[in-house]
Structure 1
Amino acid sequence: MAERIDYEIFKLGDWELQSGEKITDAHIAYKTFGDPKSPAIVYPTWFSGSISDNFWLIEEDKTLDPRKYFIIIPALFGNGQSSSPSNQPAGKPFPRCTFYDNVRAQYALVTQRFGITHLRAVVGWSMGAAQSFQWATQYPDFMDLIVPFCGSARTSLHNQVFLEGVKSALLAAKKIPSAGSGEGGVAVAGETYRTWTSEEKDVGLKAFGRGYAGWGFSQAFYREKVYEKVLGYKSLEDFMVNFWETWACSKDPENLLVMLQTWQNGDVSKQELYNGDFEKALGSIKAKTLVLPGKTDLYFPPEDSEYEVVCMKPGIGQLDIFPSIWGHWAGGPGDSKEDAVWLDQRMKRFFSENPCSV
């Protein structure tokens, strides 16, 4: 059965990238909720996430209420809906994409497709949080608020190491070694770029999922067997197979590698305005910022978020910490009901304390 398409496409043409490469005939996929005349919120997708994976936070009577706001969900390059290896001609590697490239495309969507000149907010989980920080440093005057939850403005070395592990497990199924953090794979001598066999996909993606399993949730999550008590899995192996392997095997390996490379290279200071000065980039943020790390998040520990807020100008940033054992999953995608309520309450208070500027 063909996939039901429940999103729209904005054509970008040949899209020039920070790397000097370009995506030929590029497009960005998106979906909107609410009235285009309402104050606008951009809510980008996360690593591996489809547009529909963001719907859980949009609901009447929640902060992201489509009766009050015009909510735009743009998809990352590489997610399979925006330009990605899976929807491009096969036979050559996909161009290197950065958060800067993604946000520049989102800016084109927002301004050219909808004629929007100012946003109420940019919010997001994980890689969506990174895009929130990117928006606030790339277009500092364009929004009132940002709310990055369980994410960072710069991918830490420890986070790069985690990603290097799962990336290498995936590449190993194709007998390709990693070329290093932020890079792709090392081409095998005498072999041209080729697509994955079915066996390579199956072995590689299952290994990717099992590698990820130790990072997505915290030690306490596993110790308390939340995967059984709350999520309903019968055993640890049932959880590994039917949650993690099933998730990974639903993805295209080349798509995952494109998004992973974007993530490993994440750093808001990697743009001409800042030339690698991370503290200067954070100090440039004008939008009021609510940074929400997870207490037990193994990717994005609260210490990193605390430093991000310290680097902002006085009165710009504030920090609150998910008091949760769900690890990274405290911030989404809605599996932890208590954390979803906590997040919405914090966002609602933050929005009410900071009225619209235009």
Structure 2
Amino acid sequence: MQNYEEGREKVLLMPKLLENKMLTEKLQSLAIGKPEYEIYELGDFKLQSNTILPGAWIAYKTFGSPDSPAILYPSWYSGLIADNEWLIGEDKALNPKEYFIIITGLFGNGQSISPSNSIVSPFPDITVYDNVRAQHQLLTQRLGVHHLRCVTGWSMGAGQSFQWASQYPEFMDICVPFCGSARTSIHNQVFLEGVKSALLAGKGVSSAGSTSGRVEERGAEKRVWTEEERTVGLKAFARVYAGWGFSQAFYREKLHMTAYGAKDLEHFMVTFWEK
């Protein structure tokens, strides 16, 4: 797993040298044994905005037998496919002995097509509708799934679950979103602007205009992040997120120490949020 991720990072630093399909094949070839996820190529994918996302792909991972009732479990904002696996197991809510479970990666999560791993520039605006349509194409054209027992997800995964119920209401028996909403509130957008600005500051880029997705680098053409910028930006992002990810009561009762084993607050920041 470690060798796969290290190799993958090296490839992602060279997106301008590779065509999307070549990049996809390279990522797969770096895996040791079975890859941590698979890739389904969507081709030139038409978005809700009528823009074409060229050479698009969606990352996914399956658990259980395709002969079992299927459950779709989309990833959440900033989450990787592996981050969804805590709910899967023979003693968990999603039992692969009983269900065929499919986890999908959001566009932009770094595994499905994203600004960081493709040559698409500028990267177009992506909607939840676009993600759900791509997932539907994966299910029906790649996996042969034409009906779901359930669609479920947490946070932005819950948002995708709500969208599934609206977009393909006859495709599933039940929809079980948890800890999420059908639409991002203005307050949530304010929070996202805060963490986004912390990330951009690592590159020395102003966040002005970021609410409309129109951030521009001052006096320079767009370029790949340096390793130092990436590290500084992501750590700042993590520390800002720490105040939102858990409640006042969580920190007041020192659950970061008693439940997570941190020595103190700084240790928790470094080992849980920055890692």
Same fold (TM over 0.5): yes
Counterpart in the other structure of 2:253: 224
- Secondary structure at the counterpart of residue 44 of structure 2: strand
- State the one-letter code of the partner of 1:2: Y
Paired with 1:7 and 1:57, the residues of 2 have a C-alpha distance of: 17
Q: Is the 8 A contact 2:205 2:218 kept in 1?
A: no
Counterpart in the other structure of 2:203: 174
Is residue 18 of structure 1 aligned with residue 20 of structure 2? no
Q: Normalised by the size of structure 2, how large is the TM-score? A: 0.84
- Secondary structure at the counterpart of residue 86 of structure 1: coil
Q: Is the 8 A contact 1:28 1:75 kept in 2?
A: yes
Which stretches of structure 1, 4 residues or longer, exceed 3 Å deviation after superposition?
179-182
The equivalences for 1:85-100 within 5 A come to 85-89=115-119, 92-100=121-129
Is residue 112 of structure 1 aligned with residue 114 of structure 2? no
Deviation at 1:190, TM superposition (A): 3.6
Counterpart in the other structure of 2:103: 73
- State the one-letter code of the partner of 2:70: A
Q: Is the 8 A contact 1:166 1:211 kept in 2?
A: yes
Distance 1:189 1:232, change over 3 A: closer
**Deviation per CA, 1:94-135, whole angstroms, max 9, x where unpaired?**
222111111100000111112222111100111111110111
The equivalences for 1:1-358 within 5 A come to 1-3=3-5, 4=31, 5-89=35-119, 92-180=121-209, 182-246=211-275
- State the one-letter code of the partner of 2:40: F
Paired with 1:97 and 1:87, the residues of 2 have a C-alpha distance of: 16
- State the one-letter code of the partner of 1:240: M
Paired with 1:221 and 1:185, the residues of 2 have a C-alpha distance of: 36
- State the one-letter code of the partner of 2:100: F
Counterpart in the other structure of 1:334: none
Q: Is the 8 A contact 1:161 1:181 kept in 2?
A: no
Distance 1:243 1:18, change over 3 A: same
Paired with 2:220 and 2:50, the residues of 1 have a C-alpha distance of: 25
Distance 1:188 1:146, change over 3 A: same
- State the one-letter code of the partner of 1:114: L
Paired with 1:188 and 1:48, the residues of 2 have a C-alpha distance of: 23
- Secondary structure at the counterpart of residue 77 of structure 1: coil
- State the one-letter code of the partner of 1:21: T
- State the one-letter code of the partner of 1:178: S
Q: What percentage of aligned pairs have identical amino acids?
A: 66
Paired with 2:268 and 2:60, the residues of 1 have a C-alpha distance of: 31
- Secondary structure at the counterpart of residue 164 of structure 1: helix
**Deviation per CA, 1:146-183, whole angstroms, max 9, x where unpaired?**
11111110000110011111111111222322244643
Segments of structure 1 that go 5 or more residues without pairing to the other structure are 247-358
Paired with 1:102 and 1:39, the residues of 2 have a C-alpha distance of: 22
Deviation at 1:55, TM superposition (A): 1.4
Segments of structure 2 that go 5 or more residues without pairing to the other structure are 6-30
Paired with 2:97 and 2:265, the residues of 1 have a C-alpha distance of: 42
Counterpart in the other structure of 1:263: none
Paired with 1:182 and 1:196, the residues of 2 have a C-alpha distance of: 21
Deviation at 1:9, TM superposition (A): 1.4
Deviation at 1:185, TM superposition (A): 4.7
Deviation at 1:19, TM superposition (A): 2.9
Distance 1:15 1:243, change over 3 A: same
Instruction: Choose between structure 1 and 2 for higher RCO, CA contacts under 8 A separated by at least 6 residues.
Output: 1
Q: How many residues align?
A: 245
